[in-house]
Structure 1
């Protein structure tokens, strides 16, 4: 085994498949972001649930605390947008993945068109929900 690793280390070849051999594309980046938002949403829900069990007080007391900070409307809107953006992205992109499971939109041109549509829908729906 040592001879195997010495030979491979001496050749200076990248481990296959290495990330540098791929050219980055919109569908590739959206797939990575879909996985990331899924993990972030799962972690956020878990953290919220554990904190609801362990922290003193109730949700209303924490909501009153945030209101007492007198944060400006721009900061509150930005925070709400940042919270809802991953949810909207993951939801819209999940619907896109369900369409792929049905065999629709799998051509390269459709991948890019649906990708741009998902990004536009994500921004618009996030902005709308944050305004509520």
Structure 2
């Protein structure tokens, strides 16, 4: 079948090459030109007074939208953090114990240390809990609008609680 199709296409091309009059006979004039189509498109859009691209006036910020953006952001932040930590372990002289001793020598207050630990662990917890939420969606669970908001609130509460607990360790 493929050989017959190839042979037919080859004959058509050969005929077109040898006798251009055969190709002209099969040409059908277009109804409109590209310029006319473009003018018709833009006149219709300007007459409707719609904005050219969606923005805040069209889409209001919602919890699922913000959580999706934050999920991507936390994933990027975690990837960058792990990469920088690994790169710093290769480039900075000393070992882990010497760096811990340096931090202890700074005599930072417990509130600052707790805040720093919370800031480090919260993207990980958010990305973990929201990733589990996405896995539930892949199973077809919780896809109705009220369930999206409920699971979003659950993810935020679990993120704060687990981050507080891990920072306290």
TM (norm. structure 2) is 0.69
Q: Secondary structure at the match of 1:18?
A: coil
Structure 1 position 65 matched with structure 2 position 102:
yes
1:21 Cα deviation from its structure 2 partner: 1.8
1:19 Cα deviation from its structure 2 partner: 4.7
1:60 Cα deviation from its structure 2 partner: 1.1
Q: Secondary structure at the match of 2:93?
A: coil
Runs of 4 or more, structure 1, over 6 Å off, are none
Q: Distance in 1 between matches of 2:64 and 2:124?
A: 18
Q: How many residues align structurally?
A: 125
Alignment RMSD (CA, Å)? 1.7
* Stretches of structure 1 lacking an aligned partner (at least 5 in a row): none
Per-residue CA distance 1:38-65 (angstroms, 9 max, x = gap): 0000000000011111111111111110
TM (norm. structure 1) is 0.88
User: Greater CA radius of gyration, 1 or 2?
Assistant: 2
1:114: which partner in 2? 151
Query: Which of structures 1 and 2 has the larger relative contact order (alpha carbons within 8 angstroms, sep 6+)?
Result: 1
Q: Distance in 2 between matches of 1:20 and 1:36?
A: 24
